[in-house]
Structure formats: C-alpha cells, structure tokens
C-alpha cells in the first residue's frame, strides 16, 4: 500500500502507512521531530517468539484493502482528542520475522503526560479498529488466525 504523509507543513499527522516492508523506528521518530515538543513517546509492537505458552515459528499479517484508510481515521481521531504536535503511525503486513516491528506509533506533545496518553490511545484504537489479521504458526504444527494489530 502507498505511503501517505501530510503535505501540510503545519499538519500534526506526519505519517500514516500500512506497508509490506520493514518498519524503522528511528526513521518514523524523525518524522515527528519538532522544536515545540517537550515529549516524544514511541511504541514498537514487535513479533515475539511465543503466544499463550506456545512457541511461534512463523507469522504473517494480512490487511483488508481499507486498512490504510481506517488507520488515517484513527490518527485523525487521536489528533482531535489530544493536544498533539506531531503524530506518526505505521503497520506492517506480510511475513514478519521474530523481533521485527509490526506496529510503530510515535506522538509528540508539549508535555509527557499528554504524549503518553495520546500514544497509548493511538495504539489501543489501532488494535481495536484496524482490519488486519495475524496468522501464527506454532512449533507443534498448529496455527491460528487472530484479528489484531
């Protein structure tokens, strides 16, 4: 899916993307750099090697064609609810390796409390609304599909 960034130089939403390539936390953090920000909070949701006591050996995320539009709506809602200076959010689809980032959210605000609250809400709302499904394969040969980000 295409990368989308706000072209408005005073826009709060700097990046919203759903992509099939690795996500780079430092690159996304750099997009929200702003001299007005006293706090920048980042979240990286990474693929772990286990889930509910079972060893994960392979993981794939599949997204609905509307996933990026839904993520844009989520970002806009967080921007409206909080005093955000800058915001960036990205979700990965496709096959991921253990340890790779599946979701990165970065929020910059004037103060730390607002930054923590906004980033937490961004992650929670993304996980609640984003039409992305996780397919996990376990070491015992079983697998499962989960609707989560």
Q: What is the pLDDT along the chain (149 residues), one digit of tens a residue?
A: 334 454 443 479 999 999 999 999 999 999 999 999 999 999 999 999 999 999 999 999 999 999 999 999 999 999 999 999 999 999 999 999 999 999 999 999 999 999 999 999 999 999 999 999 999 999 999 999 997 64
- Cβ-count burial of 29 within 10 angstroms (0-12 exposed, 13-18 middle, 19+ buried)? middle
Q: What's the pLDDT at 147?
A: 79
Domain 13-147 has CATH 3.40.50.300: no
Q: Which two tokens stand for residue 16?
A: 């919203």
Q: Length of the chain in residues, anyone?
A: 149
Q: Which two tokens stand for residue 34?
A: 């702003």
Q: Which residues pair with 15 in a beta bridge?
A: 88
The angle subtended at Cα 38 by Cα 34 and Cα 39, nearest 5°, is 95
Q: Which residue has the tokens 């961004």?
A: 122
Whole-angstrom Cα distance, residue 45 to residue 58?
A: 16
Q: What's the pLDDT at 148?
A: 61
Please name the helix (run of DSSP H) or strand (run of DSSP E) that holds residue 28, with its range, or none.
Answer: helix 25-31
User: Residue 85 gets which letter from DSSP?
Assistant: E
Whole-angstrom Cα distance, residue 110 to residue 112?
A: 7
Alpha carbon 38 to chain centroid, angstroms: 22
């Amino acid at each position: 899916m295409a990368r989308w960034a706000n072209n408005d130089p005073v826009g709060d939403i700097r990046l919203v993307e759903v992509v099939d390539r690795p996500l780079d936390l430092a690159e996304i953090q750099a997009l929200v750099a702003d001299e007005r920000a006293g706090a920048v909070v980042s979240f990286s949701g990474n693929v772990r090697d286990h889930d509910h006591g079972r060893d994960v050996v392979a993981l794939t995320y599949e997204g609905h064609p509307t996933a990026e539009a839904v993520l844009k709506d989520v970002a806009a809602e967080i921007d409206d609810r909080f005093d955000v200076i800058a915001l960036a959010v990205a979700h990965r689809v496709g096959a991921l390796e253990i340890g790779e980032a599946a979701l990165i959210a970065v929020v910059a605000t004037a103060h730390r409390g607002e930054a923590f609250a906004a980033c937490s809400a961004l992650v929670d709302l993304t996980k609640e609304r984003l039409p992305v499904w996780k397919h996990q394969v376990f070491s015992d040969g079983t697998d499962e599909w989960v609707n989560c980000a």
